[in-house]
Amino acid sequence: MPDDMTDLLPQALVLEQDGSNRVTRWLYAFADLLAPDAPGGAAVLAKVADVFLTEFLRQYLAQQEAALVHLAADEGERAPIAAALRLMRRDPRERWTVEGLARHVGMSRTAFAAQFRNSVGEPPLSHLIRVRLSRGAGYLATTSRTVGAIAREVGYDNESSFSKAFKRMYGCSPGAFRTEWSG
C-alpha cells in the first residue's frame, strides 16, 4: 500500500477540449455561471471546484480502468505489480527495464510482463512512457522549465526524443502544449 494515496494519481490531469470527454460536455455549460466576483461567487466556486475535481478524478480512474487503485489495495498476487507501478511513478528517470522491474518486485521477467499486462492493460514499458509523458505534460503546464530540462527530469536523454514521444501521445509539440495549457 502506498504511503500516501496521492502517489497513485498523476501530477496533472489534462481535460480534452474536443468534447469527447464526458466532463467537458457539461463543464463548459457551467463556465458562465461561476463568476467569482458575483455575490457569494467565491463560495460557490469553491464548492463547484470540489465537484469538478471529484468528477475529473472519476474520469481519470475510469480511463485507467482504476488499475492503480485496485492494485494498490490488493495484498494478494497483484501486490508486486502495484509495487512496480509505484517504482515507475516515484522515479521515472530510472532506466527501467522489464527485467529490472521484475527483479525489484521478486518475479521472473516473463511472469511479471504477463501479469503486468493483464492487470494494467498495457505492457510495462508502454505504461512507463505514459507515466513519463504525463508527468512531462504536468511540468509543461505548471512550470517555466525548459523542454530539455523537463525531458531529462522525466527520463529522456534529450529534448528531441521527448518531443517525438510527446507528439505521438498528445498530438502536438511540447511547446504548443505549454502555450495551450499554461494559461
Task: Find the CATH number of the domain harbouring 160.
Answer: 1.10.10.60
Domain region containing 111: 67-121
The domain boundary, picked from 26, 42, 63, lies at 63
Query: Quick check: 109 pLDDT over 50?
Result: yes
Query: Quick check: 49 pLDDT over 70?
Result: no
3-state SS assignment for residue 160: helix
The domain boundary, picked from 44, 63, 82, lies at 63
The domain boundary, picked from 121, 148, 165, lies at 121
Do 29 and 17 fall within a single domain?
yes
Residue 180 backbone class (left: φ over 0; alpha: ψ -120 to 50; beta: rest) = alpha
78 confidence band (pLDDT: 50, 70, 90):
confident
Cell triple for 175: 511547446
Query: Quick check: 163 pLDDT over 90?
Result: yes
Higher pLDDT, 174 or 78: 174
Q: In terms of Cα–Cα distance, which of 11, 19, 6 is closest to 153?
A: 11
Do 11 and 58 fall within a single domain?
yes
Query: Quick check: 28 pLDDT over 50?
Result: yes
Do 33 and 71 fall within a single domain?
no
Average pLDDT score over the chain? 77
pLDDT score at 151: 97
Q: How many domains does the structure of the chain reveal? A: 3
- Report pTM: 0.63
